[in-house]
Amino acid sequence: MSAASAPLVLRARLRAGVVEKVEIVSPRVDPSPVFIGLAPQEAAVLAGRLFSLCPVSQSLAARAAGEAALGVRVDAATLRDRALGLVCERLGEMLRASLLDWPGAAPVSQDVGRLRDALKALRVLPEAGVAVLSGLRAATEGLGLGGANEESFFACQIAEARDDNQVVLAPRAPDFLAAGDDAEIFAAMTLDRGFSRAPKLPGRGPETGASARRGGCGNLAERLEARRDDMTAALDTIEQLLRGGEPPRDALTAMGGNGRGFAAVDSARGRLYHSVQLDEAGRIADYRIVAPTEWNFHPDGPFARALRGARIGAAAEAKRRIERLAFVFDPCIRAVAEVVDETHA
C-alpha cells in the first residue's frame, strides 16, 4: 500500500465503444522479504515507516499477527484504542484521496482548507479525544458529509459523476470480502506464496473497500455515494469509540499460535492481511502481505469484470471514465488508463 513512482496501468481494448478486453499491469513489488529476521515488535515499527499510505493499518496488522504467533492476549481497552486509530486513519485517507485524486473538478481553496482542518483533527484525535470532535464535524460537514448541502464538494462530485453516467457496466452479483473469509485466506496465504501477489478464492472475484462495506456495487455515482456514506459511518464510529463504545467487529481480527500468526485489518481501501511465521528463536522466518489492491485489481477481479463489456465511449472520454471507475475501486497507487481502439483494426 505504499506509493510507487510507476503507475498501475489499466489497458482497455475497445470495439465500437465497448470494452472487449482489460489488461492490468501493476508495478507493485512484494515488500515482505524486508521483515525476515526481525523480531515481531520490530516488524510492527518497520511496517509503520515503510508504507506511506495507511501506515497505522500496516503497523497494527503486523503487530497483531506477531502477537497471535506468540499467543499474546490483548485487553479490551487496547483493542478499542487500536480500532480508534484505524478508523481515524481510514477517514483521513478517504478524505484526502477524495479531494486530491478524483479525476474531475479540483476542490476550491475553501475545501482544501476544510480537508486540512479535518486531517489535523484526525491526527491528534486519539490523544485529544472529544475536545477536537466538534472541529472535525464542522470540517467534514462543510465538505458534504452528513449534510444536505447541494453545493458541497461531495454533492458536486456525485453530480459530476451523474452527468457522465453514460457508462453501462457489466452486471454482476455482489461479492464482498468479509471477516468470515479470514480463515480461508489465512490458509491460502500459508500454503501458496504466490497467493499474496494474485489472491483468488475458488469460484469468486471478491471486492473490498468502501462499496463492500456499504453493500453496493452499482454505477459510478452510486459507488461515490457509498464512499461518502462510508466516510460518514467512519465519523460516527469515531464518536462512538470516543464515548466508550465497542469497536467494530471486523476492524481488526487475529488468529494463530505456536509461532504462526495472522491478522486482518479493515483499512481505508479494504481488507488488509498480514501473515507471519517465527523461527525457534522467535524471529521472523516467513512474512506475507495481501493488500486490498491485489483483490480489486486482480486480472480477473471486480474492476476488470465490471469494465469488460461496458459501453465506455472512445478516446479521452473513455480514458476519463476508466480512471473514474478505478478511483472508486481505490487503488493504493496512481492509476492510468490506456485505451486501444480496435474498431477498425
| Residues of the domain holding 317 | 8-341
Residue 163: per-residue pLDDT: 82
Kindly list the averaged pLDDT for each block of 10 residues, start to end, along the chain of length 345: 71 94 90 96 96 94 98 94 96 97 94 97 92 95 88 94 74 86 95 91 93 85 93 96 91 94 96 97 97 94 91 90 93 92 77
Residues found in the chain: 345
- Decide if 34 is inside a domain: yes
Residue 3: per-residue pLDDT: 43
List all residues 6 or more positions away from 142 whose beta carbon is below 8 Å from its beta carbon: 110, 111, 114, 152
Residues facing residue 309 across a β-bridge: none
- Decide if 20 is inside a domain: yes
- Decide if 184 is inside a domain: yes
List all residues 6 or more positions away from 42 whose beta carbon is below 8 Å from its beta carbon: none
Taking the C-alpha atoms of residue 31 and residue 18, their distance in angstroms, rounded to an integer, is 37
- Decide if 291 is inside a domain: yes
Residue with cell 500468526: 261
Helix (H, G, I), strand (E, B) or coil at 29: coil
Residue 168: per-residue pLDDT: 67
Taking the C-alpha atoms of residue 313 and residue 221, their distance in angstroms, rounded to an integer, is 17
Give the type of residue at 34: V
- Decide if 168 is inside a domain: yes
Residue with cell 502477537: 67
Taking the C-alpha atoms of residue 301 and residue 10, their distance in angstroms, rounded to an integer, is 13
- Decide if 101 is inside a domain: yes
Cα→Cα distances 240→34, 60, 187, 235, 251, Å: 37, 21, 34, 9, 14
* pTM as predicted: 0.93
- Decide if 2 is inside a domain: no
Largest CA distance in the chain: 64
CATH code of the domain covering residue 14: 1.10.645.10
Helix (H) or strand (E) holding 19: strand 18-25
Taking the C-alpha atoms of residue 342 and residue 345, their distance in angstroms, rounded to an integer, is 5
Residue 1: per-residue pLDDT: 44
The structural domain count of the chain equals 1
Residue 185: per-residue pLDDT: 96
Q: By CB neighbour count within 10 A (0-12 exposed, 13-18 middle, 19+ buried), where does 150 fall?
A: exposed
Where does 17-132 have alpha helices with state H?
Answer: 40-50, 55-70, 76-100, 109-128
Residue 2: per-residue pLDDT: 43
Neighbours of 232 (CB within 10 A): 18
- Decide if 214 is inside a domain: yes
